[in-house]
Chains A and B, each alone.
Chain A
Amino acid sequence: AQSVTQLDSQVPVFEEAPVELRCNYSSSVSVYLFWYVQYPNQGLQLLLKYLSGSTLVKGINGFEAEFNKSQTSFHLRKPSVHISDTAEYFCAVSANTGRRALTFGSGTRLQVQP
């Protein structure tokens, strides 16, 4: 089974500042990793994913994440945030064989302040 830990429940940041949202995972098998974003009263939207290959992956809205196998981490970063990035961000993991369901972390609320 897989598990995901998002270390920060809330991250306040000023507009145009950089931000990092932390995610650590646990799994006994190789995994796929994802970041999703949820805006108020909406479903989750895929930001980016890591399947294999380059450990730095780029997604929509200027976000990127780096897979670190030795530290079992998949942190999300953005060099300059906007007010519109205010949302809940979820890290998720699935095994790359067998069971295909995603396991989600508890979420990080990114609050961008002017």
Chain B
Amino acid sequence: DAGVIQSPRHEVTEMGQEVTLRCKPISGHDYLFWYRQTMMRGLELLIYFNNNVPIDDSGMPEDRFSAKMPNASFSTLKIQPSEPRDSAVYFCASSLGGGPNGYTFGSGTRLTVV
């Protein structure tokens, strides 16, 4: 298995632009998580899905952020419009069964908003 695949690895965009981050989870995994990592706030859970259904989006910072999972093999995290404070590394992780089995993380997308 190729693991959790995230694209792009790096993204530099101008303030106000729309940004879309993509994630392909491990085949057969039924949970998908989006985390954001910054020096100041550490690893923050943004949203997670179970069987493609959003379960908890309480960590999504504001309405500028949205996430979708149209099928079991693909998820997107969109920021519109982007702001400099959104600069961070965004990780996608997937899991079979959620907590007990731990997560498999992707390599992350480093987003820089200038």
Contact = CB atoms under 8 A, between A and B. Distances in A.
Contacts of B93: 43-44
B107 A42 contact: yes
A95 B55 CA distance: 15
A76 to B, nearest CB: 15
A101 B33 CA distance: 8
Contacts of B31: 100
Contacts of B43: 90, 104, 107
Contact of A102 (B45, B55, B106, B107): B45
Q: Which of A42, A44, A51 has the most CB of B within 10 A?
A: A44
B107 A100 contact: no
Contacts of A102: 33, 45, 99, 103
B108 interface: yes
A67 interface: no
Interface string B89-114: 00101010111101111111000000
B105 A51 contact: no
B55 to A, nearest CB: 8
Contacts, number: 58
B56 interface: yes
Interface residues of B, number: 25
Given A94-B98, A101-B56, A43 B45 contact: no
A41 B108 CA distance: 8
Nearest to A35: B102
B42 A104 contact: yes
Q: Which of B4, B45, B99 has the most CB of A within 10 A?
A: B99
Contact of A106 (B42, B55, B56): B42
A34 interface: yes
A49 B103 CA distance: 11
A96 interface: yes
Interface of B: 4, 31, 33, 35, 42-43, 45, 48, 50, 55-56, 91, 93, 95, 97-100, 102-108
The 3 closest A-B pairs by CB, nearest first: A100-B98, A43-B105, A94-B99
